[in-house]
Amino acid sequence: MPHVFEYALVRVVPRPERGEFMNVGVIVYSAPVRFLRCAVEVDADRLRALDPELDIEVLRDALRSMCQACEGTGPMAESSAGQRFRWLTAPRSTILQTSPAHTGLTEDPERELTRVMATQVRT
């Protein structure tokens, strides 16, 4: 039986004033099956084409923190999965942003995570 799920793309915006971005991951949330996961993949060479001075290690640390929030570890451990998803997908004007949330139906949120990574993040 299909369940409602939501996903948001994780974007790196190296220079927010320019508005250029690159998708580096996805967050998938499905309340009915208590699923909240993040997957990321950083292509440092492509990102450096947007900003040669981007600190890739700082970016990787920020992405690790984002994935930890999905897992319910770290400072957000006491929050519900829904609260964490809403916090993670709230609009920001930093170098790490998310797309608006998209919705759909799925029988397997893990498969959706893999599908969106393959179609929206990887080249």
pLDDT tens-digit series, residues 59-84:
999 999 999 999 988 788 789 999 99
Q: Tell me whether residue 10 is in a domain.
A: yes
- Counting every residue written for the chain, the total comes to 123
Could you tell me the residue range of the domain that residue 72 belongs to?
Answer: 3-101
Q: Tell me whether residue 82 is in a domain.
A: yes
What's the domain count of the chain?
1
Q: How large is the angle between the packed helices 56-71 and 81-88, nearest 10 degrees?
A: 150
Closest CA to 27 of 69, 57, 60: 69
Is the pLDDT reported for residue 119 higher than 90? yes
Q: Tell me whether residue 71 is in a domain.
A: yes
**Confidence band for 16, pLDDT divided at 50, 70 and 90:** confident
Q: Tell me whether residue 115 is in a domain.
A: no
pTM of the model: 0.93
CA quadruple 104, 41, 114, 122: dihedral sign: positive
Which are the contacts of 55, defined by CB distance < 8 A and separation ≥ 6?
none
Q: 2-15 pLDDT, tens per residue?
A: 999 999 999 999 98
Q: Tell me whether residue 109 is in a domain.
A: no
Q: Do 12 and 22 contact (CB within 8 A), yes or no?
A: yes
